[in-house]
Amino acid sequence: MNHTPPVCDYEGSDYRTRFWQNQNRNYEDRVERIALRRLMPSNGGTLVEIGAGFGRLADEYRGYERVALFDYSRSLLREAQERLGDDPKFIYVAGNWYAMPFVAGLFDTIVQVRTLHHAADAPAVFRQLARIARKDGRYILEFANKQNLKAILRYGLRRQEWSPFTLDPVEFAELNFDFHPRWIRRQLETAGFGPGRMLTVSHYRIALLKKLVPTRLLAGLDSLAQLTGNWWQLSPSVFVLNQHPDTAVTAAPDAFFACPACQTPLTEVDGRLPCPNPDCDHIWRVENGLYDFKDEG
């Protein structure tokens, strides 16, 4: 029997207002955008953001022809719709990242920021993303770094039990994981990606510093420190650029969605996406511009 790992569900949450809006996180937002712009092509054909939430980073994707904002939470995707208006390039997709509803070889660029820490089975997520990445596609991944300076100091002072030096992920709270950089690179390679350039991010994520130092200056200092990422990783956040090998497939021009149950390409019919596979009776729904692969329609 197949076992599907648990998924962290932000359905109905106040994530945007509780964590970002007026929460003194301008520094984190700015340095993550700096890192993303360094690693992500500014334009392209198709892009998907994994765990897009309310669309915080969506304005960074204006140079792409089609952008899929993918999340497990319908309510957060509705917030993204409200923020972004009627721009036809954005496609809102609710689903489970362990069964991605896209055809193989679809995306030129995959972006995943601040979500992998909720992955109970990160290698399974990587396998799904490797399947939907286009030949020579890019995957920009951000992950929570287990081997950060704060964790090292706490471990040295015996204020935490888990070691930041062991490779296995640590679940410090339910469905909240930190990852060792070497473990991440190993799993990416196993999934078929070629991990390359790394950037260390959010070096100065300290409440007192953010209060005393102007955000622009602090972000500028972080921008310089990010360049050390290929030599050491001691920051709480790490970005890594991954290339998909040229052995990957490229999706047909008219193909986009695939049944998450059997991976058969889907065509929308009267606001639904029925699977044409005779051995698969799933029917997925489309409601007010939201493609819903969490429940059948």
Annotate 120-176 with three-state secondary structure. Answer: CCHHHHHHHHHHHEEEEEEEEEEEEECCCHHHHHHHHCCCCCCCCCCCCCEEEECCE
Indicate the pairing of strand 272-274 with strand 283-287. Answer: antiparallel
Separation CA 87–CA 79 (nearest Å): 14
Cβ distance 124 to 10 under 8 Å?
Answer: no
N- to C-terminal Cα distance for the chain? Answer: 25
Q: What pLDDT shows up at residue 222?
A: 98
Residue 123's pLDDT is 98
- What are the structural domain ranges in the chain? 15-256
Q: Which residue matches tokens 């020579």? A: 136
CATH class of 15-256: alpha beta
- pLDDT, one tens digit per residue, over 208-218 is 999 999 999 99
3-class DSSP assignment, residue 184: helix
Q: What pTM did the predictor assign?
A: 0.96
pLDDT at 245: 80
Q: Is 189 helix (H, G, I), strand (E, B) or coil?
A: helix
The CA–CA distances, whole Å, from 258 to 2, 131, 152, 252, 278 equal 20, 12, 44, 12, 15
> Tens digits of per-residue pLDDT, 88-116?
999 999 999 999 999 999 999 999 999 99
User: Which pLDDT belongs to residue 134?
Assistant: 95
pLDDT value at 182 more than 70: yes
pLDDT bin (cut points 50, 70, 90) of residue 249 is confident
| Separation of alpha carbons 39 and 29, rounded Å | 16
pLDDT at 2: 57
Say if residues 21 and 198 touch (Cβ distance below 8 Å): no
Amino acid 248: pLDDT: 75
The DSSP output letter for 258 is B
- Kindly report the number of other CB atoms within 10 A of residue 99's CB atom: 16
Please name the residues in contact with 275: beta carbons below 8 A apart, sequence gap of 6 or more. 259, 261, 262, 264, 266, 281, 282, 283, 284
Distance of CA 220 to the CA centre of its chain: 24
For all residues of the chain together, what is the average pLDDT?
A: 95
Kindly tell me if the per-residue pLDDT of 86 is higher than 90: no
Measure the CA–CA gap between 110 and 118, rounded to whole angstroms. Answer: 17
Read off the pLDDT of residues 26-40 as tens digits, 9 standing for 90 and up: 999 999 999 999 999
CA separation for the pair 98, 159 (Å, rounded): 35
Instruction: Compute the distance between CA of residue 74 and CA of residue 52 in angstroms, rounded to an integer.
Output: 11
Give residue 127's pLDDT.
96
Of 23-27, 100-104, 220-224, minimum mean pLDDT range: 23-27
* Distance, CA of 111 to CA of 41 (rounded, Å): 11
